[in-house]
Every structure is written in C-alpha cells, then in structure tokens.
Amino acid sequence: MNQLLTEGSFRRRIIGFAVPIFIGYLFQQLYNTADSLIVGNYLGENALAAVSSNGAFIYLFVGFFMGFATGAGVVIARHIGAGDAHHTSLAVHTTVAMGLVFSAIVSVGGVLITPSVLRWMGTPPEVFTESSKYLKIYFAGGTGLVMYNILVGILQASGDSRHPLVYLIVSSLVNVALDVLFVAGFKMGVEGAAYATIISQFLSMVLVAVRLMRSDSAIRVDVRRIRFDGESLRFIVRNGLPTALQACVIDLSNLLIQSYINSFGGLAMAGIGASTKVEGFAFLPVTAFQMSLTTFVSQNMGAKQYDRVRRGIRFGLTCAIAIIELLGAVLFLLAPQIVGLFNRNPEVVAFGVGRARVCALFYCLVGFSHVASAVMRGLGKPVTPMVIMLTCWCAVRILVLFTLGQALHDIRLAYWIYPFTWALSSAVYAVLLKRIHVDQLSGAV
C-alpha cells in the first residue's frame, strides 16, 4: 500500500520513510564493501585496489542515468500528491521504458570504454588487468543495477520505502554468501567478486519488478503498456537532465581525483579506496533523508501544502546534519582499526587513515549540501543544484588539481580538496534556502 506523505505528522512521515531507506542502503553498502573486505584479505593489496578504486568510474557512467530516475521520481510523486492516477501511470511506464534503454547503453558502452578510461586514469600496471576484468563483468551485468534503481524509484515516489528494504536485505545476504563462495571457495579472483555483485543486483531487480506488476494502485506496471509518453518524457527530462548532469559532473571530478591518487601507486589506491568504502556508510543517513525529503517535498508541493513543506525541510536538514557529524566523529577516532579491517599493510592503513581524519569532521558540510540539493529538486528547481555542484564540486576541483596539484604532487591535496569544496557549496545553499518562498513556486511538474 502506498503511504502518502501529505497526511499525518510530517516528522513521523519523514523519519518513517527515511529509516527503511537507511537500513536498505546499509545492506547495499554492506555487499559493496564485502567485495573489498573479502578481496583485500584473500587476494592482497593489488586486488583490493582493483575492486575498491573503481567506484568513481562506475558512478560516473551509471550516475548519469540514475539522475533521470530521480527526475522521474519527482514527476511521479507530484502526480501522486495531486491524486492524478492517469498521469501517474503514464509517467511510470515511460520511466520503465527509459530504464530499458539506459540498461542497454550501460551494458554495451561500459564494457567497450573500460580499457580506455583505465588508461586515461593512469591506473598502475600492477592493478590494470584486475581492474579491467572486474569492470567489464560489472558493466556486462549493468541491467540489474540500472533497472533496480529505476523500478525502486517508482516505489519510493509512491511513499513505499519498506519493500525496497526487504529486497536489499535479501540481495545483500546473497551477495556476501556468493563473495565467500566464489572468491574464497572457488578461487575465482576479482571476477568472482564481480559475478557475486551482478547476480545479487539481478535478484533485487526481479523482486521489485514483481512487486510493481502485482500492485493494485496507479504505479502498477503492465508490460504491454511500457512505452514513451511524450508529455511524461518531457517532464522527466526537464526534472531529470539537470540532476543527471549534476551527478555526472560530480563523478567526473571524483574520477579526476582518483586519477591523481593513482599516481601515488597501488598502496595509496588500496588505502584511500578502503577509506571511501567506510565513508559510504557514514553518508547513508544523508542518502536516506535526501531521498525522503525529495519525495516528501514533491508530494506536498503537488498537494499545495506549503507550510508543511517548510517545516519538513527544516526538520530533515537538522536530522541529517546531526547524524552524519556524529558518525564522522566516530570514524575520526576509530579510523586505524576500521581501515585495518580491509588490509593490514601499514602503508595501506596510513593512506586510509590520513584521508579519513581530514574529511570526517567536515561531514556536516557534505550532508547539508546533498540534502539541500534534494530539497531544490523536490521544489521543482533542479537546475539550481546542478549549477552549484558544477561550479563548486567540479570546476573548483579541476582547477585545483591542474594548478596546485601539478605544482605540489602531495597526496594531502586529494584529502583536503573535499572539505574545501563541501564548504563552498554549503555556503551557497545556505544563502539560497533563506531566500526561497515555497508558496510562490508552482506546484505543477
């Protein structure tokens, strides 16, 4: 049953929607991290570097399409909030059609460009072969990843965050079991870790697809009705393209930073890659409130409940920032022990701890920026966060890397560039949020 976020206590609705998302993504992060933990302990530093350092490339390629999924979720949530079942159904089937096209692009394009991108990133020779094997298998099975995110976005736009939680728990447990079986048992190397990931992703995709096809509401998916509706596609592109470009430019900047890290060798790649895996856990509360607020704001803007929108934004921002800063303090204190779980080589641990202790205490800034960006999308202003992120998180990072980075060639620059750009974007968002009057914005998609 769909849970409308336009009714009842806004605090209870926001938290009730965010908690299952948080738990679900906790399990998803678990099975992403399981690859690195198992590979790092059974196959060594180079294999760990191959698996853990590819996140920037994966998210650059897949993140563009996921931005469209976010835009589709905003459109669907607006229609649901307005009680428009007909246009909700049109938007749902257009979204599914879009996901099928994106899946084909990811599966074919990702495999073809992997070697070229790894060479462009300056991947060290001792890591190149393993990285290429892992990524080619990962992208070949990219349909599971893309379609899961597309389909689960439809569920979440309707206010349902509990079924995705169940599906992620199941697929996460399957992934961990297959990691152990393929890597430790069958000795399949990094290929085993990749196969475990794509099998679990396909499983979660099938589970959410069955749920949507059996739904008795406007979000029900009928295979015979999967096609592009011109009006729905126009709204989705208008809301999704800026978000897609935003995700793309952020991931591009991270890819450039990763190429800078690669110049320091495999040990740096392994240690910093392990640190970013741990960081992914700390960012989960932000992801949860980010998605919760986007849906909450979208539905309530569709229902024209503007005061409820304002109160929900303040509450969501406060919760997300407080939680992520607390987790950052924990990571700062326990960084050596946590990074050491991935690999015990002292140099690997030193690189990972160095990055964690620079970034962790500034997590409140990245939390504020991400949640503020989600609020802007929910308000129907997706271009604003795109411009902010393009400037602060992409242009500034590239400028620093190609000027100061070339002159110094110091690994600490790869640590400090994140808090610096987080602070810039936070300052801009703080000014903009104070100036926005939600009741003057259109409730239409």
- The pLDDT tens digits of the residues spanning 20-37 come to 888 887 877 776 676 677
Q: Does any domain span residue 212?
A: yes
Other CB atoms within 10 Å distance of the CB of residue 444: 10
Q: Does any domain span residue 5?
A: no
Specify the pLDDT at position 1: 45
Q: Does any domain span residue 445?
A: no
Q: Does any domain span residue 430?
A: yes
The rounded distance, in Å, linking the Cα atoms of 396 and 422 is 11
Instruction: Write out the residue range of the structural domain in which residue 241 sits.
Output: 10-440
The rounded distance, in Å, linking the Cα atoms of 247 and 256 is 14
Q: Does any domain span residue 46?
A: yes
Q: How many domains does the chain have?
A: 1
Other CB atoms within 10 Å distance of the CB of residue 230: 9
Which residues of the chain fall below pLDDT 50?
Answer: 1, 443-444
Specify the pLDDT at position 419: 95
Where b means 16+ CB within 10 Å and e means fewer, 46-83 reads: bbbbbbbbbbbbbbbbbbbbbbbbbbbbbbbbbbbbbe
pTM: 0.74
Q: Which residues contact 390 (CB under 8 A, 6 or more apart)?
A: 245, 246, 249
Signed CA dihedral, 415, 416, 417, 420: sign only: positive
Q: Does any domain span residue 402?
A: yes
How far separated are the first and last CA of the chain, in Å rounded? 24
Other CB atoms within 10 Å distance of the CB of residue 191: 16
Specify the pLDDT at position 199: 94
Q: How far is CA 99 from CA 108, 135, 194, in A?
A: 14, 21, 22
pLDDT digits (tens, 9 = 90+) for 319-365: 999 999 999 999 999 999 998 888 889 999 999 999 999 999 999 99
Specify the pLDDT at position 2: 52
The rounded distance, in Å, linking the Cα atoms of 310 and 317 is 11
Q: Does any domain span residue 3?
A: no
State both tokens at 120: 């462009």
Q: Does any domain span residue 133?
A: yes
